[in-house]
């Protein structure tokens, strides 16, 4: 939809995040986002695993 993000766009996004949240909050935000992505992937793998078990059982 928007195409690929280049380095200038990423720098702009990080600069805006730095202004909004401040330098002390960014590590905590990054950590919580990383944990959320890890948990999402884990659940997605569990769901796809159960779907494969259902199709193999027929």
What pLDDT band is residue 16 in, cutting at 50, 70 and 90? very high
Asked if residue 31 is part of any domain, the answer here is: yes
List, for residues 24-46, the tens digit of each pLDDT value: 998 998 899 999 999 999 998 88
- Whole domain around residue 52: which residue ranges? 24-58
For 21-57, b/e burial (b = at least 16 CB within 10 A) is eeeeeeeeeeeeeeeeeeeeeeeeeeeeeeeeeeeee
Q: Assess if residue 51 is contained within a domain.
A: yes
Q: Flag whether 36 is in a domain.
A: yes
Number of domains in the chain: 1
């Amino acid at each position: 939809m928007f195409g690929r993000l280049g380095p200038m766009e990423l720098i702009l996004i990080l600069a805006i995040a730095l202004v909004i949240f401040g330098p002390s909050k960014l590590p905590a935000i990054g950590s919580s986002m990383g944990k959320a992505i890890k948990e999402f992937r884990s659940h997605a793998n569990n769901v796809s695993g159960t779907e494969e078990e259902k199709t193999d059982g027929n």
